[in-house]
Chains A and B, each alone.
Chain A
Amino acid sequence: MKLDEFFVTGEPLVYGGMVSIVLVTSAVIFLLTYFKRWGWLWREWLTTVDHKKIGIMYILSALAMLFRGGMDAMMMRIQLAFPNMNFLNAQHYDEIFTTHGTIMIIFMAMPFLIGLMNIIVPLQIGARDFAFPFVNALSFWSFFFGAMLFNISFVIGGSPDAGWTSYTPLSGAAMSPGPGQNFYLMGLQLSGIGTLATGINLMVTILKMRAPGMKLFKMPIFTWSTLVTCFIIIFAFPILTVALALLTIDRIFGAQFFTVTGEGMPMMWANLFWMWGHPEVYIVILPAFGIFSEVIATFARKRLFGYHAMVWSMILIAGLSFLVWVHHFFTMGAGAFVNSVFSVSTMLIAVPTGVKIFNWLATLYKSKIEFTTPMMWSLAFIPSFVLGGVTGVMLGMAAADYQFHNSYFLIAHFHYVLIAGTVFACFAGLEYWYPKMFGHKLNERFGKLAFWFFVIGFHVTFFPQYFVGLDGMPRRVFYIIPEWMPLNVISTVGAFGMGIGFAIFVFNIYYSYRNSEREKTGDSWDGRTLEWATPTPVPFYNFATVPHADKYDAFLAMKKKGETTFDEEKLKPIHMPSNTGQPIIMMAIAAFASFALIFEWITLAVIGLVGVLIMMGIRSFDYDEGYHVEVDEIKRIEREARGL
């Protein structure tokens, strides 16, 4: 292989990307060396098994991915506003909508939410860490290296260009030769392993490690949403694993699953992909529902209305999410009966979702709303998400879908649910729990500025797309006809509004780090659930004494009784897991093996795989049982944190 086949050449934008990668990497290396922070980085972050730190790393990576995916979006919007400028050619446009979709779903939305779950769920249930802290670190690094692998494709080897759905036969070896699609397959495979492991890990944590007294139906609603999400992950992700593996075997080893030769069946990919893909969209929306529920209850200063109905509707949504996958390809021609069945099951999902909407409204009803930034994201979510949901029901009507299919109407619909649902929730959740993570709030003035730019920008971007879709504009085109121009220009203006909103949000992180008042108590918002019972910053062992939590809104009950999580009488040594470098090393080797497989360097891939197996063997013989934090040490830390 020649060097110019290895690196992507001939695109000024890609050269720009290469230069910025080199510059940023050297800057990071220089800063770490100059401030002698390599050891700190290794000890405190790269080898950590602390769920709070892993969560922060998830969120930081997700923000970086939001930036990357957002840049892709901006480039598409520029191209569509100025189609004659030749800003992007057809091939480059294809690559960019593919990476935009994949990154936003797999490497932004999911890790962001998993990051919040990482930090908050153990705190909400009164646990000291995950059930398997080692596996948690492994999950993070598998996601991280998967994301890096996928992202590097635009400078090395060429990006995938068959859409985030990667439909066969287009994505097969015959029509998409070269490493591009392999990047998609291996990047998703590597990070998918981590997601599955996190699903198992969190499920065991929630089922087995709750504070004494906390029955399942006394759990905070965000924890419930996490538990239901884990259920979906565990039953959906293996399908993706298999689908990706089959296509990999097709592409690299010449099998005939999805080919048009050898009696292969290209349409099977669409089925397998969406049998995972539809549950996947609920994996990113249910935790969002959980976050909104927490935020709304906190700032409405009321108990969440209809807690049981909320939980059961999530369980119903999770079940139904596995029964609707065909609605993504009604036009493939499965026949009237099949389409009708999936049409009905699709519309059924609107029922539990509607129940949730009304419960949020009922929580707000006659309450004294505090307009903090997280609350504003939640309030903006309700009407925006309803717009997305209602158009979703329209798309669910199989006959009408023949008109909407593959048009911008669909694009507008899923951005309305994914941005107004998931992205708003990520912002709301980050701002809401930010003081718990970093010991100070995000500035409210800049937060609200970012909010207005982003929300107005969002509606300006996507509302016109419903209409341009009904006017017949198909998705995934890089060139448009004059009739579609005005609405596309409006969309692009809105997209820049969202971009400014995001920039202000990121600036606010820096601004607040410098200027915000430091938190003195752990209870920044007068919270209701156990995460606010810990001091801020949270000690690495979370709870000095685990509270007895037999009431819903456990911390509210504790505050009434004057209890804290520091009861000097009841202190006992706390058992904690040791830090370890094994997860990052193991996953780095796995990433190496995947990279080799992407370029079909089989020998190197096998060597990498053997390396992974050796690392597993090393782990098997590792009998490190962690260490104990002694009572005196706990006393010292708690007294300092609580200013006693």
Chain B
Amino acid sequence: MLLIDCPHCGPRNESEFHYGDQAHIARPENSESMSDQEWAEYVYLRENPKGLFRERWVHSAGCGRWFNAVRDTVSSRIVATYKQGEEAPISAEEEGGLL
């Protein structure tokens, strides 16, 4: 049971949240001109890193809002959580660990 610090509500148990996989992937505007391969990458390909990961969560049993987190996928440690549209507030050193 992770303890996730919702940027809107504060720390809450993981069971209040739903997972949303990799963060910062914009839906392509130009899908018409994309190849099948490029489109498949958008639909199916996500980073699956061993280490720090920028990912999305939604506080579904709370404020209902989507936000982002940086979490270590090995230790489960959550380095930071931040609102949508913000940059990940992490150090350069941590940034280096990001895939």
The yes or no verdict on A and B being binding partners is no
